[in-house]
Structure 1
Amino acid sequence: MEAKAIAKYVRTSSMKMGIVLGLIRGKNVNEAFAILQYTPKNAAEVVNKVLKSAVANAENNLNLDINRLYVAEAYACQGPTLKRFRPRAQGRAYRIRKRSSHVTIIVTERS
């Protein structure tokens, strides 16, 4: 049995999100919360929220034991990109890409 939580359209690039997700992948849920609490990246707040949601889904919907849960999968897919332009010298315009991502965390019970 596995519980899943997804956060869509998060305004952080999937590469930056992937760095934080790599820290908690395969870890015990309590250990993952401790790691996220002291990770100095903005993506850590979003990942913490999604992990809490996945744990709540496991506890309330599937009646799994919280103490035996671990992060089975954690990944970020690329979401839609907002395209903006910045004026530059001599009438030129440079493109600015404001990327977003979809974060997915799956927790499972250790056997």
Structure 2
Amino acid sequence: AAYADLDRDGDLDLITNNVNQQAFVFENKLSEKRKDRHYLKVDLSGPEKNVGGIGTKIFVYSDARRQYYYHSPVRGYLSSMNGPIHIGLGDDASVDSLTKRISYSPPARAAN
């Protein structure tokens, strides 16, 4: 299985690979019901030998919350993720700061 925002509405849709059958695509319709949910899209690009930023650690700070994401695109047998990282913020419309640590590079911090 893999997930992505296929219809670009802010929520993640699900794709499953089935043996001897067509793949299934499940559309997430939560954004139609809950307009007050927010998220960040983070595009990663690493150094020349790691252009996909594999192994990058992302820390998102918002009010008293801290979220952590480790970028590993492999999701199971013959499944992988591509494209921007999706970080849900819930009710928070903005973040205080975001720090990303790409393997073998100094940390990069962006403050709001």
Q: Is TM > 0.5 for Structure 1 vs Structure 2?
A: no
- Return the TM-score normalized by structure 1: 0.27
Q: Which has the higher contact order (CA 8 A, sep 6+)?
A: 1
**TM-score relative to the length of structure 2:** 0.27
Which is richer in helix?
A: 1
